[in-house]
């Protein structure tokens, strides 16, 4: 009986390991190949060496990446765009959720329903009309001391940021979480003479850490990974994000070592960030009421 | 413990609790002096998000609907004119569009059961606490944090005739299997894309399943164990019914994601070979962006939206609560 149980547990563990191998092997292959010259990548392919950093290992491919594409600029653009989107997203969405959850605002039910209704519209259906629409929007630019007015948001930073700040799912996550924070706290603070904004900032938000972490990651990932949108709205090289840089590697002769180096370069920061926040992320998704 | 991963409920400081007045404040909300000011503050807090959603979701959605019936181009000196259903007439006589519909149907029909099933298996494997559970959760989720564009690029390399996938197939079959040129052959291109798509996204749905699993009370399992049920019976009569809401959520999100297939196609095959991997969104982007035909692309987007609505409605109906 005991042996049987032991065998069963060993079997389960084996399945777990099998899934882990399948999940990890392409990523390991990518990282390892980024350190090898092209010839060796192909030479190692038929043996386990494909997954081991052995042989002629160097960072040459990474050096070549920076020669071929303005990788530093792309990374900087992506970091900037993602960071601003995340920060503004957390602020705008939590503020909205706060009012909807904790204040007696007239008409808030209709507003909340309308916000949730936007979830059924996939971004892909909006993308093309949105390109046309942002091209009609006015745009002010402070140039020295004069305010310059022009039309069209194409080829700017804000076109990569502003449309993605407000997000119904983020509002929903904050709302769910705020509902679990006792309303009596607000009443107590109000008696102490605190205004609503102060309650938001000093009572509710400090308690909403897990929800904030989830929203931060769920905003960061699509911002960092965005491809379709910048492909359509950003033409200038100095404004492009990292994913678009991939196109540079298929001009002229393809060097797979360099491709793998660039792919690693734009993936590793996200993986490191994810591992750092892993616990709070997995836990808060698991608890954010994504139960339909 | 089943509840180990629920968030710690925010702690109420004892002092704050003591300060709660006994009177019923909320009841007189309307007559309270600051009522009007509270309304203004509340709307002020809602406004930024509401305005942004209006500007970047509602207006483009309505615009897209309208533009589909015009001849608008992205950049054009001509004024926009109403052209009736011309765009749709053109769309429904385009054989490539039907091919795209067929491809997306194929992709969706395979992805939905396989990906949700594998994701559930993964969630069950890491649901209970054991040594190294966090390691496995992290590894299973790694493909999800890797962007679909990077994943496509990586698999593009692995799917070559002399690539890693064929080398592995050859190694595990002792040289018997001579793998195809996956993406170069119209018969294997879509299956190849299906495999990498499942590989990338299953971890995300694993997390949603995990949320559902964590929500099932541990007492139910204890009771089932007392009744001497087998593992399978526990799954069948405790876990599966307990995942009712999670199930529809997983189903809907995978379906919508599958219908919108684009990134993989754009990086790996550009719709080829011989249109065997072209999709609705890929066609929309081709016409809307490359050929700058905003109106035609809007028409495709509108058809796509209607398709998503129909499929979601059918799924809702099929998975409705039967009482």
pLDDT, tens digit, for every residue of B80-109? 788 888 889 888 988 999 999 999 999 999
Q: What is the mean pLDDT of residues B62-66?
A: 87
The closest of A171, A233, A117, A137 to B63, measured between CA atoms, is A137
| Cα distance between residue B272 and residue B164, in whole Å | 22
DSSP state letter for B82: B
| Cα distance between residue B165 and residue B159, in whole Å | 6
Region of A194 please: left (phi>0), alpha (psi -120 to 50) or beta: beta
| Cα distance between residue A225 and residue B150, in whole Å | 9
Largest CA distance in chain B: 83
| Cα distance between residue B125 and residue B122, in whole Å | 5
Which residues of chain B lie closer than 8 angstroms to A125, CB-CB?
Answer: 61, 64, 301-302, 304-305, 308
DSSP H helices, A156-200, are 158-161, 168-179, 184-191, 196-199
pLDDT of residue A98: 93
Q: What is the mean pLDDT of residues B212-225?
A: 83
| Cα distance between residue B153 and residue A132, in whole Å | 29
pLDDT of residue B24: 47
Tell me, yes or no, whether B257 lies in a domain. yes
| Closest residue on chain A to B246 (Cα) | A291
The closest of B29, B137, B39 to A283, measured between CA atoms, is B137
Closest Cβ–Cβ partner in A121, A184, A189 for B61: A121
Q: What are the tens digits of pLDDT across the range A171-207? A: 988 998 888 888 888 888 888 888 888 999 998 999 8
For the ranges A160-164, B217-221, B248-252, the one whose mean pLDDT is highest: A160-164
> How far away is chain B from the Cα of A122, in angstroms, using its nearest Cα?
8
Share of residues in chain B with pLDDT > 70 (%): 89
Which residues of chain B lie closer than 8 angstroms to A246, CB-CB?
Answer: 149-150, 153, 267
Q: Which CATH number goes with the domain that contains B281?
A: 1.10.3720.10
Tell me, yes or no, whether B71 lies in a domain. no
The closest of B248, B224, B289 to A229, measured between CA atoms, is B289
Task: Give contacts of B 253-272 with A, CB under 8 A.
Answer: 256, 259-260, 262-263, 266-267
pLDDT of residue A281: 67
Flag if B150 and A259 touch (Cβ within 8 Å).
Answer: no
Flag if B48 and A95 touch (Cβ within 8 Å).
Answer: yes
Tell me, yes or no, whether B68 lies in a domain. no
Flag if A27 and B134 touch (Cβ within 8 Å).
Answer: no
| Cα distance between residue A166 and residue A168, in whole Å | 7
- Give Cβ neighbours of residue A130 (< 8 Å, ≥ 6 apart): A163, B56, B60
Flag if A118 and B57 touch (Cβ within 8 Å).
Answer: yes
- The two three-digit tokens of residue B92, written as one number: 């429904």
Tell me, yes or no, whether B70 lies in a domain. no
Contact assessment for residue B89 and residue B309, using Cβ atoms and an 8 Å cutoff? no
pLDDT of residue A231: 86
Tell me, yes or no, whether B163 lies in a domain. yes
Q: In terms of pTM, does the model score above 0.80?
A: yes
- The two three-digit tokens of residue B189, written as one number: 């291109």
Question: Over 50: is that where the pLDDT of B322 sits?
Answer: yes
Q: What is the mean pLDDT of residues B218-238?
A: 84
- Give Cβ neighbours of residue B72 (< 8 Å, ≥ 6 apart): A132, B80, B294, B295, B298
Q: How confident is the model at residue B289 (pLDDT cuts 50, 70, 90)?
A: confident
pLDDT of residue B145: 87
Which residues of chain B lie closer than 8 angstroms to A122, CB-CB?
Answer: 256, 259-260, 304-305, 308
Flag if A27 and B142 touch (Cβ within 8 Å).
Answer: yes
Q: Which helix (H) or strand (E) holds B307?
A: helix B294-318
Tell me, yes or no, whether B120 lies in a domain. yes
Tell me, yes or no, whether B72 lies in a domain. no
Could you give the ipTM of this predicted complex?
Answer: 0.85
10-residue averages of pLDDT along chain A (292 residues): 76 92 91 87 79 82 86 92 95 94 88 87 83 83 70 84 92 88 87 88 88 86 90 87 85 82 90 78 58 36
The residue range of the domain holding B236 is 94-318
Q: What are the tens digits of pLDDT across the range A198-215? A: 999 998 999 888 888 888
pLDDT of residue B33: 63
DSSP H helices, chain A, are 2-33, 38-44, 60-68, 71-102, 108-117, 123-134, 158-161, 168-179, 184-191, 196-199, 209-225, 228-233, 256-287
Tell me, yes or no, whether B209 lies in a domain. yes
pLDDT of residue A241: 92
Task: Give contacts of B 45-84 with A, CB under 8 A.
Answer: 45-46, 48-50, 52-53, 55-61, 63-64, 67, 72, 74-75
| Cα distance between residue A269 and residue A271, in whole Å | 5
Q: Is B175 on the interface with A (CB under 8 A)?
A: no
Question: Over 60: is that where the pLDDT of B157 sits?
Answer: yes
Question: Over 90: is that where the pLDDT of B163 sits?
Answer: no
| Cα distance between residue B299 and residue A129, in whole Å | 10
Handedness of CA A202, A206, A211, A214 (dihedral sign): positive
| Closest residue on chain B to A12 (Cα) | B125
Q: How confident is the model at residue B1 (pLDDT cuts 50, 70, 90)?
A: very low
Share of residues in chain B with pLDDT > 90 (%): 25
Which residues of chain A lie closer than 8 angstroms to B163, CB-CB?
Answer: 45
Closest Cβ–Cβ partner in B41, B139, B304 for A125: B304
| Closest residue on chain B to A243 (Cα) | B149
Per-chain mean pLDDT for chain B: 83
Please tell me the total count of domains within chain B.
Answer: 1
Q: What are the tens digits of pLDDT across the range B105-142? A: 999 999 999 999 999 999 999 888 888 888 898 899 88
């Amino acid at each position: 009986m005991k042996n049987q149980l032991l065998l069963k547990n060993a079997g389960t563990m084996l399945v777990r390991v099998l899934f882990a191998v399948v999940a990890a092997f392409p990523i390991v292959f990518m990282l390892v190949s980024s350190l090898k010259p092209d010839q060796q990548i192909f030479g190692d392919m038929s043996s386990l060496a494909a997954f081991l950093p052995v042989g002629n290992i160097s960072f040459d491919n990474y050096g070549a990446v920076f020669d071929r594409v303005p990788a530093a600029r792309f990374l900087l653009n992506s970091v900037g765009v993602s960071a601003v989107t995340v920060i503004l997203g957390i602020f705008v969405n939590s503020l909205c959720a706060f009012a909807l959850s904790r204040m007696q605002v007239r008409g808030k039910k209709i507003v909340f329903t309308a916000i949730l209704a936007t979830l059924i519209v996939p971004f892909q259906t909006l993308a093309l009309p949105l390109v046309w629409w942002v091209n009609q929007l006015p745009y002010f630019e402070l140039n020295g001391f004069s305010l310059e007015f022009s039309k069209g948001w194409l080829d700017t930073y804000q076109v990569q940021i502003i449309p993605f700040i407000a997000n119904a799912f983020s509002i929903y996550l904050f709302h769910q979480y705020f509902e679990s924070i006792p309303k009596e706290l607000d009443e107590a603070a109000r008696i102490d003479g605190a205004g609503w904004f102060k309650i938001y900032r000093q009572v509710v938000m400090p308690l909403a850490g897990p929800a904030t972490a989830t929203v931060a990651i769920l905003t960061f990932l699509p911002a960092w990974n965005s491809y379709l949108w910048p492909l359509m709205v950003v033409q200038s090289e100095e404004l492009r994000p990292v994913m678009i840089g991939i196109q540079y590697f298929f001009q002229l002769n393809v060097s797979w070592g360099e491709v793998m180096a660039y792919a690693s370069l734009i993936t590793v920061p996200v993986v490191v960030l994810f591992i750092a926040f892993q616990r709070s992320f997995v836990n808060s998704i698991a608890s954010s009421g994504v139960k339909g | 413990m089943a509840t180990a991963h629920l968030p710690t409920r925010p702690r109420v400081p004892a002092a704050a609790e003591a300060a709660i007045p006994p009177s019923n404040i909320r009841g007189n909300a309307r007559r309270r002096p600051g009522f009007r000011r509270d309304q203004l503050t509340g709307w002020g807090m809602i406004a930024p998000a509401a305005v942004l959603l209006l500007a970047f979701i509602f207006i483009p959605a309505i615009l897209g609907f309208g533009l589909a019936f015009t001849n608008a181009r992205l950049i054009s000196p001509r004024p926009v004119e109403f052209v009736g259903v011309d765009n749709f007439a053109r769309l429904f006589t385009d054989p490539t569009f039907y091919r795209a519909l067929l491809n997306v149907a194929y992709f969706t029909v395979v992805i939905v059961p396989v990906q949700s099933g594998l994701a559930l298996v993964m969630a069950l494997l890491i649901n209970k606490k054991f040594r190294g559970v966090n390691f496995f959760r992290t590894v299973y989720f790694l493909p999800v944090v890797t962007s679909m564009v990077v994943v496509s690029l990586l698999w593009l390399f692995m799917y070559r005739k002399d690539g890693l996938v064929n080398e592995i197939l050859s190694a595990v079959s002792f040289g018997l299997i001579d793998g195809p040129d996956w993406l170069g052959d119209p018969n294997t291109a879509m299956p190849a894309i299906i495999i990498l798509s499942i590989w990338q996204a299953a971890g995300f749905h694993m997390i949603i399943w995990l949320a559902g699993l964590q929500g099932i009370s541990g007492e139910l399992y204890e009771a089932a164990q007392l009744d001497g049920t087998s593992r399978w019976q526990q799954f069948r009569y405790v876990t599966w019914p307990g995942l009712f809401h999670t199930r529809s959520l997983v189903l809907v999100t995978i379906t919508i994601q599958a219908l919108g297939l684009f990134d993989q196609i754009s990086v790996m095959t550009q719709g080829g070979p011989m249109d065997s991997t072209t999709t609705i969104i890929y066609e929309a982007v081709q016409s809307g962006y490359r050929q700058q035909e905003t109106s035609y692309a809007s028409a495709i987007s509108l058809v796509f939206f209607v398709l998503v609505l129909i499929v979601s409605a059918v799924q809702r109906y099929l998975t409705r609560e039967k009482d």
